[in-house]
Structure 1
Amino acid sequence: MDERSQVELVIETLKQDLPTLFEKDISYDIYTQDIYFRDPVNKFKGKTNYRIIFWTLRFHARLFFTQIYFDLHDVYQSAENIILATWTVRGVLRVPWKAHVFFNGYSTYKLNQDGLIYEHIDTWDRKPSEILQQFFRKGEDT
């Protein structure tokens, strides 16, 4: 597979996987064994840990939310070996006051010479403490 079609495969896989990441597992074929991941609360290396973070997301989504969505806005190649994904996480917490959680972010994926993702950095539009504060606000009845 040539370099261009490998990048297209990675983009297509991300477009398929990300919108349902709270419901079902993603495909790990597009990541290296020593994938490095960082977001505002986690930092680790290795595909096993990467699998665990996605399992944890699904587990917590089912446990703490009555509704949760990962709205994928765009996935595109921003530079030769970089893919960007822009997204919004929104949900309703499983609490009597139906608190709403909402934040935007983007994921930066770096590809190695084989076209596999070796680095995934998530950036959020607010601090984790600000997101946590949303847990305690009353949501609108829906």
Structure 2
Amino acid sequence: MARALVARPLTLPYSNNSEYNNSRRLWCTARSNNGRDASPAIKLAVEGVTELLRLFSSKNPRESNARNREKMPPISCVEDVLEVIQDDYQRAYFLTGKFTLDIYAEDCLFEDPTIKFRGRERYGQNLDLLVPFFDNPSLELEEIQKDLCVETGSILASWKLRTYLKLPWRPLISIKGKTTYNLDQDYKIKRHSESWNISAIEAIGQIFGFSSREIDG
């Protein structure tokens, strides 16, 4: 019998502390290149696998996404958006598909080192496809702050994700990453961009059991 879903998020409070802000500026200039984009061939393969999962899924993604939609509170500033994102991390949205759909622009750009596409509905559908494959998953939010590297509204979150997959060889997926949320003038997220501490090749290798390196610290 598959293990029950266990998501253990850790949220850290918003801070205007000057010492933290100084360290954030250093972080901005030292972002790792380890999570660099995959080659076009790998991206095409990932998109193909995603479409196959969508084709053979017994779920109705649109209905499932509607059930998972969280009610959005009034939004009037970047800090309001940050709080909504924090709440979504408390729901471990990467792992459960339960996120606040309305905080995203309809044509929001979603990207990580292996895939890139537009559309918040499609993002919800992709999460719905992946959630059934997670076994004993854990998502920890390490930090979430307004991004000081850009002048326009932007939020930066760092996190750790660890899960086994419900495949015969039960591979371990272990990634440390950052997600940048770029906002438009209406405080909607127009870009949701992930970077990882491992390369796209290594991330895909984990699925096939070629790499099981634990995330650093």
Higher helix proportion: 2
Question: What SS does the aligned partner of 1:9 have?
Answer: helix
Deviates more, 1:11-20 or 1:94-103: 94-103
Distance in structure 1 (CA, Å) of the matches to 2:168 and 2:106: 42
Deviations for 1:6-41, whole angstroms, at most 9, x for unmatched residues?
312211111111242112421112111111111111
C-alpha contact (below 8 Å) 1:105/1:125 kept by paired residues: yes
- Structure 2 residue corresponding to 1:66, chosen from 127, 130, 135: 135
Question: What SS does the aligned partner of 2:101 have?
Answer: coil
Please tell me whether residue 26 in structure 1 is matched to residue 26 in structure 2: no
Question: What SS does the aligned partner of 2:78 have?
Answer: helix
The TM-score, its normalising length taken from structure 2, stands at 0.54
Instruction: From the superposition, tell whether residues 76 and 96 of structure 1 become closer, same or farther in structure 2 (CA, over 3 Å).
Output: same
Q: Which runs of 5+ in 2 are unaligned?
A: 1-73, 213-217
Distance in structure 1 (CA, Å) of the matches to 2:130 and 2:84: 19
Q: CA deviation at 1:131?
A: 2.2
The TM-score, its normalising length taken from structure 1, stands at 0.79
Sequence identity, in percent? 29
C-alpha contact (below 8 Å) 1:32/1:116 kept by paired residues: yes
Paired position in structure 2 for 1:48: 121
Distance in structure 2 (CA, Å) of the matches to 1:93 and 1:38: 22
Instruction: From the superposition, tell whether residues 2 and 13 of structure 1 become closer, same or farther in structure 2 (CA, over 3 Å).
Output: closer
Paired position in structure 1 for 2:84: 13
Q: CA deviation at 1:67?
A: 1.0
Q: Which runs of 5+ in 1 are unaligned?
A: none
Distance in structure 2 (CA, Å) of the matches to 1:121 and 1:115: 16
- Structure 1 segments (4+ residues) deviating >3 Å: 93-99
Q: CA deviation at 1:98?
A: 4.9
> Which amino acid is the alignment partner of residue 177 of structure 2?
G
Paired position in structure 1 for 2:197: 125
> Which amino acid is the alignment partner of residue 115 of structure 1?
Y
Distance in structure 2 (CA, Å) of the matches to 1:94 and 1:51: 20
Distance in structure 2 (CA, Å) of the matches to 1:37 and 1:95: 26
Q: CA deviation at 1:137?
A: 6.1
Higher strand proportion: 1
Q: CA deviation at 1:132?
A: 3.1
Distance in structure 2 (CA, Å) of the matches to 1:42 and 1:2: 29
Q: CA deviation at 1:91?
A: 1.4
Q: CA deviation at 1:128?
A: 2.5
> Which amino acid is the alignment partner of residue 202 of structure 2?
E
Distance in structure 1 (CA, Å) of the matches to 2:165 and 2:128: 19
Question: What SS does the aligned partner of 2:160 have?
Answer: strand
Instruction: From the superposition, tell whether residues 95 and 86 of structure 1 become closer, same or farther in structure 2 (CA, over 3 Å).
Output: same
Larger Rg: 2
Count residues with an aligned counterpart: 133
Please tell me whether residue 91 in structure 1 is matched to residue 172 in structure 2: no
Deviations for 1:66-100, whole angstroms, at most 9, x for unmatched residues?
21122111111013411001011101233566543
